[in-house]
Amino acid sequence: MQTQLGGPLAPEPVPVHFAYVARYEYSDVVVQNDNFLRLSPYDDRYQTPAGGGSEVATVPAGRRITYPDRLGNVVNRIRITAPHRELIIAATGRVCLNDHAPVLDDAPLASIAYGLDAQEFLTASLLADPETVRAAAREAVGSATTLLETVSGVVRWVHDNIRYERGNTSVNTTAADVLQSRSGVCQDMTHLGLAMLRAYGVPARYVSGLLTRQPGETHAWLEFLHPERGWLPADPTRGIMELNGTDYLKFAVGRDYSEVPPVSGSFVSKGEGWLNFTTAEVFFDRETVSVDDALALLEGN
């Protein structure tokens, strides 16, 4: 299913529908719940959000405002003041996935001069600090001197050296932590990849989204900046940089996870809160999708 460098393009954009749902529980009544959702399809050349069906909703309902953030992510902010002990967040959408354009032109890293706008993707972010991974980055990149070889080296190294393992890391785990423990999930591997690329002067950013053929949960991969082609994807978790564009559905980009979690926010309560259940589904054969389809994913869970 992978498009090789210089290989064929998918002939037609592939329309898909997706549904996402998450349920949060609280140990006491919540009187105010204010959340930022980054669960709408990102608009770029690899995917085109298609009208009709893109929707976010909460139970209980709240007031919403939708706005673009500085990196072009669609943010839905929903604030709820109906008292509740359980919060359900549902998102659905329709998007046309375009296969990735082939990347032919490599360039020596030393010859690339990135502009000021790229600086923030070269420096440390909260969870991906290049200073902390320099030695490992040298090992990963080896003798590579070009942009694509560097990215490829990093992506493969992370895939080969970091064990995919759930439960040992959290949303606060840094690239340095992952390097230390040599294990983590997609988010952790992405952070390590970001930090290593930044250490070599390759601007890199975090992508949050879904794997269309393995939905279930959100996925993370990265994008690196190509001086002519713009942001190109690579997936350290799967160890590949020649992604099949129709495999990936992108929600949001940021310097790392901390800037673009699918759900972030705050609540006011005397009690504690936790994520009780979340899942996502992608449909290749549907004409429509609604919030009810997302809520239906909760059945039996």
Partner 1 sequence: MLTDTSTAGHPLNECLNPDGSVKPVYRNLVNAIDSLGVPELQRRWGDANHRAALDAFTFMLDPREFRTVPTDWMPRLIPEGEWDVISRGVAQRLKAINRFLLDLYCGEQEVVPPDVMYSCQYFNPELLDYRPARDVFVHIYGIDLVHMGDGRYVILEDNLRIPSGITYQMKSAEIGLGAIPELAAGYDIIPYDIRAAYQEMFASLCEKDSPVCVLLTDSKYGSAFFEHRYLSELFGITLVEGSDLYIGANGRVWARAMGGDFEVDLIYRRVEDLELFVPGLTEAYLDHKVVLVNAMGTGACDDKLVFLWVPDMIEHYLGEPAILDQAVSYDLRSPANREYVLQNLDSLVLKTRQGYGGLGVFILPDLDKGYRSRLAQQLIEQPQVFIAQETLDFSQHLVFDESSGEFEGRYVDLRVFAVQNGHGEVTVFPGGLTRVSEANSRVTNNSSGGSCKPSWVVR
**Residue 19 vs 195, nearer CB to partner 1:** 195
> What minimum distance in Å lies between the beta carbon of 37 and partner 1?
12
**Residue 268 vs 275, nearer CB to partner 1:** 268
Reading the block at residue 220, the tokens are 């993370």
Chain residues binding partner 1 by CB under 8 A are 31-32, 36, 62-65, 67-70, 75, 77-79, 81, 83, 116-117, 119-120, 123-126, 129, 258-259, 268
> What minimum distance in Å lies between the beta carbon of 119 and partner 1?
5
Q: 77: which residues sit within 8 A by CB, 6+ positions away? A: 34, 35, 36, 37, 64, 65, 66, 67
**Residue 191 vs 238, nearer CB to partner 1:** 191
What is d(CA 148, CA 136) in angstroms, rounded to the nearest whole number?
18
User: What does residue 129 show for φ and ψ, rounded to 5 degrees?
Assistant: -105, 115
> What minimum distance in Å lies between the beta carbon of 40 and partner 1?
14
**Residue 110 vs 116, nearer CB to partner 1:** 116
> What minimum distance in Å lies between the beta carbon of 88 and partner 1?
18
**Residue 57 vs 282, nearer CB to partner 1:** 57
Listed in order, strand segments (DSSP E) in 155-229 are: 163-164, 183-184, 204-211, 218-226
Q: Where are the alpha helices (DSSP H) in the chain?
A: 134-141, 147-161, 175-181, 186-199, 291-296
Q: What is the CA radius of gyration of the chain?
A: 19
52: left (phi over 0), alpha (psi -120 to 50) or beta: left
Hey, is 143 helix, strand or coil?
coil
> What minimum distance in Å lies between the beta carbon of 77 and partner 1?
6
Q: How far is residue 301 from each of residues 57, 64, 280, measured CA to CA in Å? A: 19, 27, 13
**Residue 79 vs 286, nearer CB to partner 1:** 79
> What minimum distance in Å lies between the beta carbon of 255 and partner 1?
8
Q: Which residue has the tokens 């009690």?
A: 271
**Residue 50 vs 75, nearer CB to partner 1:** 75
> What minimum distance in Å lies between the beta carbon of 258 and partner 1?
8
Reading the block at residue 131, the tokens are 């200073």
Find out whether 9 and 104 touch, Cβ atoms under 8 Å.
Answer: no
What is d(CA 195, CA 127) in angstroms, rounded to the nearest whole number?
9
